A and B are shown apart, each in its own frame.
Chain A
Amino acid sequence: MLSKNNKKAWLYLLPALILLLLFMVYPLIDVFIYSFEEGYNSASGVFFGYGGYNYSYVLHDPYFLQAVRNTFIIVIITVPLSTAFALLISLGLSSIKKLKELYQTVFFLPYVTNTLAVGLVFMILFRKTAYTDGLVNLLITFFGGETVDFIQGPYWAKMFVMCFYTIWVVLPFKILILTSALASVPQEYYNAAKIDGTSKWRTFTKITLPYISPMILYLVITGFIGAFKAYSDEVALFGTDLNGAGMNTIVGYVYDMLYGNSGGFPSYASAAAIILFAIVLTITVINLMVSGKNTANIG
């Protein structure tokens, strides 16, 4: 039986619950149903029947497989690297005294900058055109290397720029979280460590790292999820024809299936979206299981 307090709690939760049901749960179920409707025609709204053909089609589509490969490469490279860089920069930031606020602002700037604007800057830096080799290529030739077209050239070059860009864009948020996490480590622990004659490295690995490990876990999980959902960053660098550029992602594939030039197939899009959901869910569960053992229980 519901107690009076319980009823009250549900009443307060009601507005949020209604919105969640309407805009989260219902579409989720709908997408799930769509993904099993074979031969759905978006104009007439009719379909042949239910079955797994949409999944079979998507999983055999070379564009989808390319998208999955790209997404996984981006995730596996950018999440660990960006977290590690963010940790290094945060440690640097928390150890300096002069102009600390200024540096924090500078490092946070990319976060408030428009993705497309950042993409434009990256294009200017990396693109090689008939008129100019671009700034990065100038540097490469200066050190005696061969010029590369990073935007329309070989796959590895494009992937390099893509990862570089992704790390650059996600770094500020991680720095923000980690600097505040570092600041929350009580000074007493450092004083105690100092009196015990603890080396800097041991202080870091035995005190700082365990203390901020819940935050690092949070960043890794949200980083994975965010990287799996990447799409706009790719558009910012390579334009809307991502399949043509060979740089599509899973979310990009879903979009193309819905609205792109080859679009108009909500069933295929739904199937791809459900596959993405399954991947993200699996990775997150694995993450939680692995880190559950290693994260310190602070309290």
Chain B
Amino acid sequence: MKVVLSHLTKRFPNRNKKIKTEVTAVSDFDIEIPDGKLIGLLGPSGCGKSTILNLISGLEQPSEGRVYFGDEDVTELPPEKRGIGLVFQNYALYPHLTVLQNIMFPLENLKGEEKMSKEAIRAKAVETAKLVQIEDYLDRKPSELSGGQQQRVAIARALVKRPNVLLLDEPLSNLDARLRLQTREEIKRIQKETGVTTIFVTHDQDEAMSISDYIIVMKAGILQQVGRPQDVYDDPCNLFVAKFLGVPPVNVFDGMVRNGRLFIGENDVLGVSGLKDCDVYVGVRPEGYLVEEDGLLKCGLRSVEVQGRDTSIIATNAAAEGGSFRAIVIAEYAPDPKADKVNLNIKPNKVYLFDRDTEERISCSVSR
């Protein structure tokens, strides 16, 4: 089922009761989430991601705006009437119930016409447990399971009612690194198998990029950009999005455009067309450099690091943010680690220009 958030705003009273001004957690959030997709809601901590999730689930009421599931306005509906499943960050499994009892719990709540027989409840719970591959642990208590297994139980409990929308709040944050890789594939698989519209919240861009059909990037309660992960990565709409996506992060230089040429510091590095003279921020992806004898960007060389399959160089340049930057280069072209200088050329398709004041992306074409 598609989910439409129409101009959602959520304000909270200030925690310090003496301050009368309200805190705006979500501001004029307007988006249509397509049916049957896996959507990553991405942003730094405290940017209002979880608030969005709570607004969709109905645990919070928006200050302004409406929430639609399909064509139905669900803004006034309580959570249990919305047909959603929610997986909490710490799973919130009932500690005194077994795995099976936890999964059966939502079905046992059904009343009236929806009421199910004990056998039907059990059968459905077991079926859902099989879907998340937890059927061998049905009689265990949550405390006897690993974090990843608890996660599966939580997903099963959220899915057992066959919700229209599945919401996951930081689903991987409580897992260790290896389990995190496994589990995110698992979430992808479960989503594909059930076809349920799934929205998950994360602050980890790697997580969001790897499994989402679409990502929604937000900052300080404001929607920044929506799109397929690779599209957003390749075509960020502002400096924040460019910096937030990608590991290592994008390099930012102080630059300027003069007579159709782009300068980083003193170095004339690329040609620019369709842009008047102005000062800009230049964003360059770490993989956007070529080490070349006649490279136009003259830098100092601090070190060369080999990390697994990547070779990266730490170069210094007065115009770079923080004075130095990291570039990932092809191993065979890596400079001599003993050298103290390195010349780099920049791949035009890995360069973004941003307005100095608004930090918005400037559209123009860049060439060698």
Contacts and interface: CB of A to CB of B under 8 A. Distances in A.
Interface of A: 186, 188-189, 191-192, 194-199, 202, 206-207, 210-211, 296-299
B109 A198 contact: yes
Nearest to B96: A296
A195 B80 contact: yes
Contacts, number: 65
B109 to A, nearest CB: 5
27 contacts: A186-B92, A191-B88, A192-B86, A192-B88, A192-B92, A192-B94, A194-B59, A194-B78, A194-B79, A195-B79, A195-B84, A195-B85, A195-B86, A196-B80, A196-B105, A196-B161, A197-B106, A198-B80, A199-B109, A202-B109, A206-B97, A211-B95, A296-B95, A296-B96, A298-B95, A299-B95, A299-B143
Per DSSP, chain A at the interface is helix
Contacts of B120: none
Contact of B94 (A191, A199, A206, A299): A206
B interface, by DSSP: helix, strand, loop or mixed?
loop
Contact of A188 (B90, B96, B143): B90
Contacts of A210: 94-96
A198 B102 CA distance: 13
A195 B109 CA distance: 11
Interface range for B? 20 to 34
A187 to B, nearest CB: 9
Contacts of B110: 197
Contacts of B141: 297
A134 to B, nearest CB: 46
A297 B143 contact: yes
Choose among B106, B111, B143 the residue with the greatest number of A CB atoms under 10 Å from its CB: B106
B57 interface: yes
B109 A189 contact: no
A188 B109 contact: no
Contact of B88 (A188, A202, A207, A299): A188
Contacts of B92: 186, 188-189, 191-192
A270 B105 CA distance: 55
Given A188-B92, A192-B94, A196-B161, 17 more contacts: A189-B92, A195-B79, A195-B80, A195-B84, A195-B85, A196-B109, A197-B106, A197-B109, A199-B109, A206-B94, A206-B97, A210-B95, A211-B95, A296-B96, A297-B95, A297-B141, A299-B143
Contacts of A206: 94, 97, 105
| Those 6 A-B pairs whose CB atoms lie nearest each other, nearest first | A197-B80, A296-B96, A188-B92, A196-B106, A210-B96, A192-B92
Specify which of A195, A210, A298 lies most central, judged by the most chain B CB atoms within 10 Å of its CB: A195
A35 B143 CA distance: 49
Nearest to B89: A188
